[in-house]
Amino acid sequence: MKITGSRATEETGENLKAVHHWAAFLVSAADRRRAVHYREKGVRMVSLQSEVVSELRSKVKGEVLLPGESGYDAARTIWNAMIDRKPAIIVRCAAVEDIVHSLALGRDHGLLVSVKGAGHNIAGNAVCDGGLMIDLSAMNSVQVDPETRRANVAPGATLANFDHEAQRYGLATPLGINSTTGVAGLTLGGGFGWLTRKYGMTVDNLISADVITADGILLRASDQENQELFWAIRGGGGNFGVVTNFEFKLHSVGPEVLSGLIVFPFDQAQDLLKKYQEYVDQIPEELSVWAVMRHAPPLPFLPPEVHGKMVVVFPFIHLGDIEEGRRAIEPLRNFAQPYGEHIGLQPFTAWQKTFDPLLAPGARNYWKSHNFVTLSDGAIEALVAYAGRLPGPQCEIFIGLISGQANRVAPEATAYAHRNIKYVLNVHCRWEQPQDDTRFISWAREFFNATASFATGGVYVNFLTQDETDRTQAAYGANYKRLVQLKQTYDPNNLFRMNQNIKPSL
């Protein structure tokens, strides 16, 4: 018995050799087309003998899955349904040693290697075609020390896993806005969320990390040890190794917070966004307010006739004194006559799950993103114009407010460089049927082009889709050259290339 893996060759302009070894599992029409795609792209197929697989199974504590085996399809299925890739072999790791053995397999047999944490990344880099997929999702433990206010987080943990443990002690660190997001992927790209204005980016709260590099060596990275590696993983994505443990500092948050949603008519969107920009310039950093334009979900506090209508939503969270928070949001409530609002105290863990139903797995997703220092009149006009013709009821345009503490860190302090921005804008297209791909993707690209002149040119690396490899350098700005040099040091053969890839210098 043989299984196959693949290693993509670098494009050198030379004639690419034909593929000689074909996988037995490529039997369907779709798989045959994928095989032809491999050949046309110069993918070299590598055969693994059954004894190699048997040896790996004898070494690892987790599961080793081959195509057709129970659990294989579930393991390769991730959040974005547009990603339908078939690894030749999947290792569902249960321990750090499993990762070391898996990477050795990838190196020794020239396999394309992908690493899955929670599988929430829009580009789908957790899954590779024809190679080795290292699945860390079962390694999801979170250990919190309330005395030192530190948390140690395994690479498969989600925000829900983290919040469940940290909030037992009324503690948190800046993470994202969707509880099914993986802590690892979010952190490696920089990370921001509801707590960022007060406590900075996720990477600003990372104390140390344990990293397995391409040569299989486990290193501790911190301000005291392997400082250059520590700098690189704080925003450099998965380019430099597999992180097996993240150590975060924690802050007092909750367990209950003042939070909610205020929903306004879309026909006042332009005026609302102008008021929003003026308002957030004056609010305390304990308050974070975002802006969302979309069709209204069937929220219970909205009249039935509003359900499905275009609306402008201002979700917010306040971390300080309750009465101070109520006073701080009063101007927001008076922007216009709202359709409805839901404001009150609720557990922080519940707030972190508020948008989960709108971001459930299984749909097709495509994003385009910009960074903004300010929302100019031209930007607002374009935003409203395109929001007025969203291609589907699940699509939205959201504006995430950053600023605050995140802006006080020097751009060269971490690999994440965008320390001057105030807003991150994401165009989130979401639909169900493959035949609609072209229509939704085309709309998102048109919107992106129409608003590009008002943006900084930079981008948050975690929002880049699989077709935006040309924007990788824009994700790092002036830090890119240093990242290339460090890639050459830690991964000269580019083993970790299933990502928004920073290629080594040689």
Supply the CATH classification number for the domain 142-253: 3.30.465.10
Q: Is pLDDT at 68 greater than 60 in this prediction? A: yes
Percent of the chain clearing pLDDT 90 (strictly above): 88
Instruction: Give SS3 for 381.
Output: helix
Is the CB of residue 362 less than 8 Å from the CB of residue 81?
yes
Q: What is the mean pLDDT of residues 379-385?
A: 97
Round to whole Å and give the CA distance between 426 and 73.
Answer: 30
Give the single-character DSSP code of 264: E
Q: How far is CA 128 from CA 48, 78, 84, 378, 438, in A?
A: 17, 12, 9, 40, 23
Instruction: Give SS3 for 243.
Output: strand
The class level of CATH for 2-135 reads alpha beta
Round to whole Å and give the CA distance between 293 and 275.
Answer: 15
Round to whole Å and give the CA distance between 33 and 45.
Answer: 15
Supply the pLDDT for residue 472.
95
| Type of residue found at 243 | V
Supply the pLDDT for residue 505.
83
pLDDT in tens, 291-308: 999 999 999 999 999 999
Q: How many CB atoms lie within 10 A of CB 12?
A: 8
Q: Which segments of the chain belong to CATH 3.30.465.10?
A: 142-253
pLDDT in tens, 404-457: 999 999 999 999 999 999 999 999 999 999 999 999 999 999 999 999 999 999
- Label residue 8 by pLDDT band (50, 70, 90): very low
Q: Which segments of the chain belong to CATH 3.30.43.10?
A: 2-135
